[in-house]
Amino acid sequence: VTWENSAITIALLLPLVGAAAIGLMPSHADRATRLAAVAITGVAFGVVTAITLGFDFGTGGQLQYELRVPWIDVLDTHYHVGVDGISLPLFFLTYLLTFLCAIYTLAHLPPPGKPKGFLALMLLLQTGMAGTFVVFDLVLFFVFWELVLVPMYFMIGIWGGPRREYASVKFFLYTLLGSVFMLVAFIAIFFQAGAAGIEAPWDIVVLSETGIEAARTFQIVAFAGVFLGFAIKVPMWPFHTWLPDAHTEAPTVGSVLLAGILLKMGTYGFVRIALPILPEGAVVFAPIIGVLAVIAIIYGALCCLAQTDVKRLIAFSSVGHMGFVMLGVASLTERGVQAALYGNIAHGVITGLLFFLAGSLHERYHTREMGEIGGGMLVKMPRYGALLVYTAIASLGLPGLAGFWGEFAALWAAINPAEVLADYEGLYLALVIGGAIGTVLTAAYFLWMIQRVSLGQPPRRWSEEALADVLPLEWAAWAPLALIILALGVWPRFVFGVQDPAVQRLVGFIGGS
């Protein structure tokens, strides 16, 4: 056992052990429980930071910290973990955001309180999310993929807003439907690969070396199954309807993790599994994905324009942003996949911070209705107001901040789709135009939101009231995200550079530029 082959396992097990430890703490030890969660997530974040620092960025295309041991013999599945350049940013983000969520929970926890249950679920969720990004066995991938459902279900259902029961059940069943179809597709891939003589037919690395050798129809059908699972998670239009409900009703921490990490599992799945293993299926589905993505961009933006609730607006903005990410994927080029993965990270950081801000907004105003808040935040709470404006502007894609690069690069990639998509060049041009219109609409609704809640003078009912500006604990949770937004905007190679070798490896054989 060396650090090299056990580091990831340690990082995955720490939250699980922590969840058990927190479950054993006495329920009246409120403060101690919250501090314990900060300590556990802090240590886990430390481990992942060490992994990141020890990562050889020059060979980011290769799996590092790899461990592969048999798990269920008769199924030929392995406990196969490792990180490459595609996994690493998402893996890191998972531990960072959960750590920040634990810090935030020191200050805020929605009714009915009970930090013990809440934090234990959050840690369980962390293992599920993190595992999804670092496992390279289809069965194991599915187990981690599904592991996030139950904790998130309880998080929304117990600590959520007024319509929590509806939202939690909808989230659970909707996601489940997609993922069970995905499971059947995985098993079909397993048999097909086994029949084609592949040695380790569950292994994602092996399967994505060359893609599966199978008839076109098989690839299309299997891709359809996998597509359902991932598309619902992303979510792509028209499978997005669980998202606004789940995001809006979830407690702040739940929304942050949903937007920041859970949605990324979908795009990650497309890039890691669907495209490389089923390349022919991908070529057939790419134009469809592109069309759905652009519909999502425009539809999401139009929905945002109609919202009056800040949190719901941010939720719908996710639909549009994930549309850009999927547009990048649909180009099937290296550049597009890069854009998608970059957009993933950027959206995770920005929208994560936005949901934090929306949560604190509710803590102060006890409403999220823009009409009731009525503006003047920059006067009333200058620091908070400034942070909201900053993040909203980052989200709408201002150059120099993180949101810009993902959208810009996705549109750029879609102008030049992969050679295998040459027949669809006209379509892709139309998609780029649609996406560009979407960026304008995105800017419109965010600016409109800023105008309605931040600018002007606060209405009388709020000017009398003492509303606290950003608390020290909130600074601690938010400042890292705000800094990352700036850093990624100024120097996008932070992420692009890490991913580059791994993406080249994955996309090379589809035939893109």
Partner 1 sequence: VQIDWAAIGPEIALAVTALVVLLTDSFLKGDAKRFTNPLTAVGVVIAIGLTLVIYGDGRETFDGMFVASDYALVFKLLLLGTFLAILAVSYHYFSEGRYFQGEYYFLLISAFVGMLIIPSARDLLLLFVALETVSIPAFVMAGLRKRDLYSSEAAIKFFLIGVLAVAAMLFGISFIYGATGSTALEDIAAAFAADATPDPLLMGAILLVIAGFGFKVSAVPFHFWAPDTYSGSPLPVTAMLAVASKAAGFAGLVAVTFIAFEPYAELWAPAMGVIAVITMTLGNLLALQQRDIVRLLAYSSVGQAGYVLVPFGLAQAGAVEINQLAVQAVLFYLIAYAVMNVGAFAVVIGVARHTGRRLISDFAGLGYRSPTMAITMTVFLLSLGGAVPLVGFWAKFVVFQAAASAAAYVLATAVVINTVLAFFYYLAVVRTMWFGEAEPGAGYIRPGRLLGGTAGVLAAVTLILGVFPAYQNLPVGDETAEPPDTVAAAES
Q: How many CB atoms are closer than 10 A to CB 366?
A: 8
How far is Cα 130 from Cα 152, in angstroms, rounded to an integer? Answer: 14
The reply on whether position 213 binds partner 1 by CB under 8 A is no
In a 13 Å sphere around the CA of 347, the CA atoms on its Cβ side amount to 31
Which of helix, strand or coil describes residue 137? strand
Contact positions with partner 1 (CB under 8 A) in 59-78:
72-75
Which of helix, strand or coil describes residue 398? coil
Residue 307 Cβ vs partner 1, minimum distance, rounded to whole Å: 26
Nearest to 190 by CA among 68, 78, 70, 66: 78
Q: How many CB atoms are closer than 10 A to CB 416?
A: 17
The reply on whether position 190 binds partner 1 by CB under 8 A is yes
The reply on whether position 55 binds partner 1 by CB under 8 A is no
Nearest to 57 by CA among 494, 508, 512, 436: 494
CA 320 to chain CA centroid, Å, is 13
Helix axes 164-195, 242-249, angle to 10 degrees: 130
The reply on whether position 142 binds partner 1 by CB under 8 A is yes
Binding segment for partner 1 among 29-37, 151-159, 248-256, 388-396 (CB under 8 A)? 151-159
180 or 473: CB nearest partner 1: 180
Determine which residue in the list 17, 107, 187, 455 makes contact with partner 1, applying CB under 8 A. 187
Distances (CA, A) of 257 to 80, 117, 162, 384: 25, 17, 20, 21
Contact 401/486 with Cβ under 8 angstroms? Answer: yes
Binding segment for partner 1 among 152-160, 304-312, 411-419, 420-428 (CB under 8 A)? 152-160
Contact 313/243 with Cβ under 8 angstroms? Answer: no
3 or 191: CB nearest partner 1: 191
Determine which residue in the list 65, 91, 153, 355 makes contact with partner 1, applying CB under 8 A. 153
Total chain residues near partner 1 (CB under 8 A): 32
Residue 79 Cβ vs partner 1, minimum distance, rounded to whole Å: 11
Which of helix, strand or coil describes residue 34? helix
The reply on whether position 209 binds partner 1 by CB under 8 A is no
147 or 479: CB nearest partner 1: 147
Binding segment for partner 1 among 35-43, 139-147, 407-415, 465-473 (CB under 8 A)? 139-147
The reply on whether position 162 binds partner 1 by CB under 8 A is no
The reply on whether position 163 binds partner 1 by CB under 8 A is no
The reply on whether position 180 binds partner 1 by CB under 8 A is yes
Residues near partner 1 (CB under 8 A) are 72-75, 139, 142-143, 146-147, 149-150, 153-154, 157-158, 164-165, 168-169, 172-173, 176-177, 180-181, 183-184, 187-188, 190-191, 221
